Chains A and B, each alone.
Chain A
């Protein structure tokens, strides 16, 4: 019997090729979309799972309750905390500290490369985590000061095929590093991404470092702990607080644990952290919703297309009933047919995903893998999905078809109940509602992205080149470099700062004038020279910029932003005194405010502008070059030549400030792109559905059309008659979709500290696109019906 079902399904498919194609393409599009979404959700959920101790690892975060801090959760904690937890808490069996090591420049022989990202850490890194050492010692690998572990890819860049173990590397500051081990590159699903690990153990000539790594006076590195067994980490937080108090930590900096499982998706609001390709759980929910919607669209399509053509199958159904088929058997047959079609679509979509995934990964900045046959869980899950889609989409047609009464259908006519027609219309309205909602939502996402890209940030980010000044030599020769660069008329200004603008600034404790003794103030700090304000287009609201005319600026003057002044309720901030924290145990250094800078977005736009303290410093690690924008390649070539002449030993690297800025939102932009693609696909599927339904409706009304034509109706009149009916349904879908999209997107926007006002345009676009698609699909069918010979349609009735 099953053979008979499959046979007739395949023969039907072959016989009505055009229709089969529409059906298959619609289903395959929906399934492809679903598989891709499943892969991306799996990717998001797979983060850090490769660690054997996945369920026993937690990261220490710090809640910063000081005045002046609005983003309170940070990924750094007390350097002394990790070892103390292992000592004092029986639940903690291991800990590792991880600090930023930047992008060190490494020289081996005559070859110099820049690493992508380095960490300072300790040997227990390999006990807590499951990163794999392939060669060299494992035990105590980072116990010696200046010892390093390289990843395979960095080792290959430096050493080629040479064995790196035992070799030495020189940094830009002439430190000599010893390569102790070689490790596999971190998997793409690791939130820690690095290519070099450097020992955290302080060298003998660095006493400050030694004090730092066991200190309780700052939060400056990440602590990870290994628990004795999987635990509810919240229950340990009071113990962490007690240990902090015992060791003299600050009352307003409280450590809390975050399970490793939460690091990738539940860290959106956390600042100061190492978290590569940080995801967001709300995006996962959005993806799930989009996947379910698109799958529903595809299923509804299938239902509509199959039931629309049920007239052609009616006789067969009648006959099967006559020869003894029960309704259950007929339902089974049509479900089986739906599963056959779904299977074909499924095979097609697997092929499409296989081909498309690398491109999509590149476009969305993802690294999902698709290896169906080595992944039984995925295979099983997808087969389940296949079955679900088959049953879901086959059930309604099966129900309708099996209900045909043989006494009626075998005579050649068949009735369709009004309820059936209404249901199919409701389904199409539902499809269009989803599509319209998605279009409007995507429109709003794009508006927000555009807002971020074009927002006045309070500084100029166009035509600014950032050049890191790494290395002793480069550092000392920066004045010479700047003098040489100034000779080119296309170079408008040069300035130095502690960090690129837009990157995460560090925070520092302050004692502003007039603050009470029991209040703790922590503000962001930034250091730059007197050229920075004009070069980057910052605005001095009151007071003055740093100036060479005031040589003491570097030791006793600060600028603050408006937010800082507002925090202190200072109407005239110039002349106020601010104490700034220095080394532990040393009294705060007193500075005087010489000017107030208009608020600018020194961090990402996701966070509110916080109070900022700006110090005057002429020895900074980053050079910003403002160029005219005329002949950019030539200007860059000039900068590079000048650099090489002055710093022949050192690598020249640069980035454009606006590129760096866009980089901050690359995940959001990729997500917007993805949303746009899925929306397009949803609209496509909905259009197919409408094509099916209009085909069905025109078939239903063939006789009516015939009679109208015989009575003299024109082609236009008939097309209009058939078309207006559907346009009303599409209009209804718009009315339903708009408020839903508005409310949901308003919620999505809440996540942004600075957000766009939702305009009417996304809704108008959605309405326009939906009506256009509807008109195009319907008019094809209507025109065909209107142009057909009335004799044919009347003869059969």
Chain B
């Protein structure tokens, strides 16, 4: 589904040039659950942003769903993003001025989904994440765990092929963190590919495969044992 070859990302300011990613090669299959690990500043979030078509690489190839996207314009990337990629963030990134329902509805608005279908799909997503009873509340009225549920609902409502999660449990206590991980695992079981950046070795174990990043390079890759066993 996703294939990256010789990918390089360089950030330039007026005087300094920083290589955030170098010589990255990575393939992700449909339905796969991939965890990316590494210390702060190693480039894992940059990688996730490129995978999510939020950022574009400086060099290299990037195939997404059979298309070479590395040279796509912002408009083309936005078009491809909506409907095929969902995002979950560490800091939830819900819009404070919109209610739970309106936050979840947002991706569908940009996909020109009809009002009746929106209502149906938002309702279904909220129910799936057991947050339907809070649909008229504003984000600040919810606990962290509830907010991340809403964020996950927003990620799934567009029925994406892949969900990108950037430390989704980073701002949560362990109980809520476990819950969010269960949700992601469930989603993966139902066929959605998941790419997750995490610091937590324990949560990384939920993935099929773990990629280790250090100083902008992929320095290691290992299959998770229980999945090896299952395979």
A: which residues have CB within 8 A of B? 1, 4, 7-8, 11-12, 15, 315-316, 318-329, 405-407, 410-412
Contact = CB atoms under 8 A, between A and B. Distances in A.
Contact of B82 (A4, A7, A324, A405): A324
16 contacts: A8-B98, A11-B98, A319-B95, A322-B52, A322-B81, A323-B82, A323-B158, A324-B78, A324-B111, A326-B75, A326-B79, A406-B49, A406-B54, A407-B45, A407-B49, A410-B93
B83 A412 contact: no
A8 B102 CA distance: 10
B188 interface: no
Nearest to B80: A324
Nearest to A406: B54
Contacts of B82: 323-324
Contacts of A318: 93
A588 B46 CA distance: 105
Interface of B: 45-46, 49, 52, 54-55, 74-75, 78-79, 81-83, 87, 89, 91, 93, 95-98, 102, 105-107, 109-111, 154, 158
A7 B96 CA distance: 12
B107 A7 contact: no
A318 B106 CA distance: 13
Majority-rule SS of A interface residues? helix
A406 B81 CA distance: 13
A410 B89 contact: yes
Nearest to A323: B107
B168 to A, nearest CB: 13
A323 B110 contact: yes
Contacts of B111: 324
B95 A316 contact: yes
Given A319-B93, A326-B79, A410-B89, 18 more contacts: A7-B97, A7-B98, A7-B102, A12-B97, A316-B97, A319-B106, A320-B110, A322-B52, A322-B81, A322-B87, A322-B93, A323-B106, A324-B81, A326-B74, A326-B78, A329-B110, A407-B45, A410-B91
Contacts, number: 76
B87 A323 contact: yes
A8 B97 contact: yes
A321 B78 contact: yes
A329 B78 CA distance: 11
Contacts of A327: 74-75, 78
A325 B49 CA distance: 16
A733 B216 CA distance: 49
A4 B102 contact: yes
Contacts of B78: 321, 324-327
Contacts of A11: 97-98
A619 B75 CA distance: 92
Given A1-B109, A329-B110, A323 B154 contact: yes
Nearest to A415: B13
Contacts of B46: 407
Q: Which 7 A-B pairs have the closest CB atoms?
A: A324-B82, A323-B107, A11-B97, A324-B110, A407-B49, A407-B55, A326-B78
Contact of A412 (B91, B97, B109, B110): B91
A25 to B, nearest CB: 22
A410 B45 CA distance: 11
Contacts of B79: 324, 326
Nearest to B56: A407
Contacts of A322: 52, 54, 81, 87, 93
A4 B81 CA distance: 21
A456 B83 CA distance: 83
B62 to A, nearest CB: 15
Contacts of A4: 98, 102, 105-106, 109
A329 B111 CA distance: 12
Contacts of A315: 93, 95
Contacts of B87: 322-323
B95 A8 contact: yes
Given A320-B106, A323-B110, A324-B83, A15 B95 contact: no
Contacts of B52: 322
A411 B79 CA distance: 23
A324 B46 CA distance: 19
Nearest to B111: A324
Nearest to A321: B78
Contacts of A412: 91
B155 to A, nearest CB: 9
Nearest to A409: B93
Contacts of B83: 324
A311 to B, nearest CB: 14
A316 B98 CA distance: 10
A321 B79 CA distance: 10
Contacts of A326: 74-75, 78-79
Contacts of B154: 323
A13 B102 CA distance: 18
Nearest to B84: A324
